[in-house]
Structure 1
Amino acid sequence: MLNRWEDIVEVPLPLPFALKEIKAYLFMGENGVTIVDTGLNIEQDFTVWESVMEELGITWSDLDKIVLTHYHPDHYGLAGRIQQLAGGIPVHISQVDFQQARLFWDRDSKMAQDLASAFRRHGLDESVVRQIPEHLASFIPWIEPHPNPTFLRAGSKIQLGDRTYKVIHTPGHADGHLSFYDPEREWLIGGDFLLPRITPNISMWPNCDKNPLQSYMKTLEKMESLPVKRVFSSHGPMFENYQERIEQIRRHHEGRLKLMQDFVETEGRVSATEVCDHVFGKDLSIHNIRFALSETLAHLEYLRNNQQLEVERAGKRYFYVPAR
């Protein structure tokens, strides 16, 4: 039985990660059906879409567009395949995030080498660094083919099903992350901007936002005053405690910043990997190491940009030290 709220149908799609599921959404309209986020290009997710569409009595030809909150594989992966099946319907995404999809997942991209170099500078063991290129390459089949994009601008409006939504730029989790707001119902389609049970991963990647946690904290501040009765997020159930959840996540990051700053001040001189081990523990999978170290760097760089920490270089290695 699918969860449904008026015209919005929740579509749970399985993921082969510790995060077991993504929630995509169908917006049912008289003149067409809109998909928001797609899951991975894996047969398990594609089969779910076929089953859901059969249950709802619709076909690929009933789709009018695909809308993507951001470029991460679990949101973006099936967009190109579904676009082809649906006769070339528009795939809407921010320009920044389409560029980053190509940056991360093009077969000739240098992102894997850049990320390996960054992690090496910040103290990650070479035996783990060597796994990065193969790990990133493993995602490529899950997102190909890339869609032919139509770029969305923040502040514009878009039809999802039969209703008009405001397009809002909500960066932090991804540089070009978009959320969609129905002002009449005060409903927010939030993607990974705000999640009910876990905190969105805020990571610093090469060639992307240099201070993503600051961007995210500004997003929380900007969005806090928006009147929201329901949030439809990508991981976890629909929820209604919008302002409370914003405050909970803000406090979470403030606590993590204090934990990291205290550790640097106690130790005196540490690598980002040492901070990561202190906060997240050791013996993580390569998938979790990538996110844990990148999130650690996002917090450390936030502190450095606020003059609460400094960076020292020793040869090709970087270390964080207390601010003088």
Structure 2
Amino acid sequence: MEIAPGIHRIKCKFGANRMVYVHLLIGEHAAMLVDTGCAHNPEQEILPYMRSIGFDPAQLTYIVISHSDIDHQGGNAPMKAAAPQALLVCHNLDRPWVEDTEALIEGRYSQFERDHGIGYGEEGKAGIRAGCLSHPLDLTLVGGEHFRLSRDWVVEVVHTPGHTWGHLTILDPRSRTLISGEAAMWNAILDDDWAPAMPPTYCYVDVYLATQDRLMAMHIDQLAPAHWPLQQGAAVAEFLNESRNYCLLVERKLMEFAHNTGGFTLREAIDQLGPTLGRWPTAANQDFSYGMAGNLESLTKRGRLRTERNAADLITWRPV
């Protein structure tokens, strides 16, 4: 639907009961698509929605990828095939993983295998390959760029790291709408029924918290996130505060766990604490590896925890 003048919100389904919202901005002189979903979503939802509102993909000027993840970049090749004139762009820091599916698998989805014994296995990686059709980028951004869509309509690219290093959001100052992707992740990622699907995967805690502070200082009347309902008015600040506070709650639980156990692996922390921190399916607890590893890295940098390796050569954390 159209959520603000010229801004359309398109629901794309994937997996058993998951969804991601992509956004289409249509101006008089240029048009921008923010994210492409998974490999099947351009044909299944994005292009049909464009046709339903009388928008020709040949009018698309920019395809902006908010960050490197299968459900945000997987449809890049199909969308470029449908709109070859559109410039495909992302933040410079996420470029290696957005351009190359194998690099995405190795750098993002396999990052916990060596030191923590946590991964998706060969079957999971095959599923990622099937759902992520990468394409070379035409341009990279650093944040702060402005795109003129109409004579009197300019949107701004805002660098909002935390979930990834190069996460981008799009600010429309005209309607004070922020297309926020996963810059703020609340206390769970939701499924198509608005039930918890998995833990928030914020990854890089220090910059993630700084991003929440930055967003809180902005004048945002409407937040349009990727896996959550639209947030409007006072609900925007509540959503951002909960995103920040939940990250700090996980940190506190990890410190309590460290003092109670004397030492633990990432897997042990996930298995013990994951079920106490949310109501997502048990199988999704593994995805806490992103958030908890980020919290543990932050605590270690601040001198609250120290690391060593156990007999299985896995990293363990102990309180200082």
Residue 181 of structure 1 aligns to a residue whose secondary structure is strand
Aligned to 1:208: none
- C-alpha contact (below 8 Å) 1:187/1:229 kept by paired residues: yes
Aligned to 2:56: 59
- C-alpha contact (below 8 Å) 1:34/1:161 kept by paired residues: no
Q: Distance in 1 between matches of 2:150 and 2:21?
A: 17
- Corresponding letter in the other structure for 2:238: E
Aligned to 2:13: 14
Matches within 5 A, 1:2-151: 2-16=1-15, 20-42=18-40, 45-102=42-99, 105-106=102-103, 115-120=112-117, 131-151=120-140
- Corresponding letter in the other structure for 2:129: I
Residue 224 of structure 1 aligns to a residue whose secondary structure is helix
| Aligned CA distance change for structure 1 residues 108 and 189 (closer, same or farther; 3 Å) | closer
Q: Distance in 2 between matches of 1:180 and 1:279?
A: 34
Aligned to 2:164: 174
Aligned to 2:192: none
| Aligned CA distance change for structure 1 residues 255 and 195 (closer, same or farther; 3 Å) | closer
- Corresponding letter in the other structure for 2:160: T
Residue 264 of structure 2 aligns to a residue whose secondary structure is coil
- C-alpha contact (below 8 Å) 2:96/2:104 kept by paired residues: no
- Corresponding letter in the other structure for 1:215: V
- C-alpha contact (below 8 Å) 2:98/2:104 kept by paired residues: no
Question: TM-score, structure 1 length as denominator?
Answer: 0.84
Q: CA deviation at 1:260?
A: 1.1
Aligned to 1:233: 225
- Corresponding letter in the other structure for 2:250: R
- C-alpha contact (below 8 Å) 1:196/1:237 kept by paired residues: no
Q: Please give the root-mean-square deviation of Cα atoms over the aligned residues, in Å.
A: 2.6
- C-alpha contact (below 8 Å) 1:27/1:161 kept by paired residues: no
- C-alpha contact (below 8 Å) 1:81/1:147 kept by paired residues: no
Q: Deviations over 1:22-71 (max 9, x none)?
A: 111111222343211111112x5522123212211122212122111112
- Find the partner of 1:313 among 305, 309, 315: 309
Q: Distance in 2 between matches of 1:111 and 1:229?
A: 33
| Aligned CA distance change for structure 1 residues 299 and 313 (closer, same or farther; 3 Å) | same
Q: CA deviation at 1:137?
A: 3.4
Residue 231 of structure 2 aligns to a residue whose secondary structure is coil
Aligned to 2:193: none
Aligned to 2:182: 192
Q: Distance in 2 between matches of 1:217 and 1:293?
A: 18
Residue identity over aligned pairs, in percent, reads: 19
Aligned to 1:256: 250
| Aligned CA distance change for structure 1 residues 96 and 319 (closer, same or farther; 3 Å) | same
Query: Deviating runs (4+, > 4 A) in structure 1?
Result: 106-114
- Corresponding letter in the other structure for 1:31: H
- Find the partner of 1:279 among 270, 273, 297: 273
Q: Distance in 1 between matches of 2:243 and 2:95?
A: 27
Q: Distance in 2 between matches of 1:109 and 1:300?
A: 21
- C-alpha contact (below 8 Å) 2:159/2:166 kept by paired residues: yes
Q: Distance in 2 between matches of 1:196 and 1:271?
A: 25
Equivalent pairs, count: 303
| Aligned CA distance change for structure 1 residues 132 and 161 (closer, same or farther; 3 Å) | farther
- C-alpha contact (below 8 Å) 2:60/2:85 kept by paired residues: no
The unaligned stretches of length 5 or more in structure 2 are: 190-198
- Corresponding letter in the other structure for 2:145: S
- C-alpha contact (below 8 Å) 2:187/2:200 kept by paired residues: no
Aligned to 2:289: 293
